Amino acid sequence: MSGAQASFGTDALNGAKLAVEELNAGGGVLGHPVKLMVKDTQSRTDETEAVVAELTDSDKAAVLIGEIATDRSLVAAPLAQARGVPMITPASTSEKVTAVGDGIFRVCYTDAFQAGVMAKFARSIDVQKAAILSDASTPYSAGLAESFRKEFSALGGTIVAEESYRTGDKDFAAQLQAIKAQSPEIIFLPSYYAEAALIIQEARKQGIDAPFLGTDGWDSPEFLKVGGGAVDNSYFCSHFASETTSEAVKRFVGAYAAKFGNAPPPLAALTYDAVMLAADALKRAGSTDPAGLRQALAATADFPGVTGGITFDADRNPRKPGIVIRVDEGKFTYLETVDP
């Protein structure tokens, strides 16, 4: 809820609060009220271990919901797995997270999928030459760069430049110059909102006007606030569009807006689904026994999430649609839904 990706945690917490409130209004789970215990990693990998230890060893959580960012989930997952406490990440997309063990689940799609959505999108608007600019110091960004390279090339496109930076860098001039020299038609920039907005601003100053293509890490109002007009004419892959027309989603959007005063951001929707799925699995398991809960989670089929149906494959990943969002005139606009 604080630090570099504070916006993600804040939305996620609101989604969890709404889910717990609704569960308890309906009598709780297995005859008990659900208690939400909240700890802040401060967007830091080096705080994550202490947070997991407190929630599991001291608070005796039956299930962990989190973390949001891949890099922190990669710290949390082995600790949760070793303690036998099932963990459901609402939003960590790297394949590596659920690969940690049979107790680690996710309710979102994976990075190979979202990189494929953006590669297909680029080819659908006739892009032949793409560049990639990624953060080599985070598994999230580095993994996405690799997946996009593969997918875009497999679809007949050419990667004409590939550059990287490291978290905390402030100067991207050299990388952007190298990219500009190859005249790509789009630039794939898998990173989080604050950094992405700064990089795109810098690119516009250097006279690069090719559209940028991004990933779910851009998905925060902060991207628009920091980026201003510079981030117009770009596209990214999201998890949730509150404009969808299904009755269940409309009900969720209405309940969220009534409680928090705004439409639910994707992280609120994903985390709402993660908590509701945990409750559903607890009911199916009949107790909080970790082994039973893990089995019930693994057996999840057609769970009706507000972000889409959830059925786990053998690697505890669901197949969910990707949503392409266009950034223009200072706002996010729904463009299309890409099914897996």
Residues of the shown chain interacting with ligand PHE in the complex, contacts defined by CB under 6 A:
8, 68-70, 91-94, 140, 216-217, 219, 239, 266-267
Contacts 24+ apart (CB under 8 A), 167-176: 167/135, 167/137, 167/138, 167/195, 170/198, 172/133, 172/198, 172/199, 172/202, 172/203, 173/202, 173/206, 175/133, 176/133, 176/202, 176/203, 176/206, 176/208
Nearer to ligand PHE, 211 or 266 (CB): 266
Nearer to ligand PHE, 184 or 266 (CB): 266
Smallest distance, ligand PHE to C-beta of residue 84, A: 24
Give every strand in the sheet of 87-89, ordered side by side.
64-65, 87-89, 104-106
Task: Identify any residues that bridge with 134 across adjacent strands, giving them in sequence order.
Answer: 164
Nearer to ligand PHE, 266 or 318 (CB): 266
Tokens standing for residue 210: 């090719």
Smallest distance, ligand PHE to C-beta of residue 142, A: 12
Smallest distance, ligand PHE to C-beta of residue 216, A: 4
Nearer to ligand PHE, 70 or 175 (CB): 70
Return d(Cα 309, Cα 280) in angstroms, integer: 14
Nearer to ligand PHE, 71 or 280 (CB): 71
Smallest distance, ligand PHE to C-beta of residue 159, A: 22
Q: Which residues, 6+ apart, have CB-to-CB distance to 260 below 8 Å? A: 14, 18, 268
Nearer to ligand PHE, 121 or 193 (CB): 193
302: buried, middle or exposed (CB in 10 Å: 19+, 13-18, 0-12)?
exposed
Smallest distance, ligand PHE to C-beta of residue 144, A: 9
Smallest distance, ligand PHE to C-beta of residue 139, A: 9
Are 141 and 149 a contacting pair, CB within 8 Å?
no
Return d(Cα 184, Cα 129) in angstroms, integer: 5
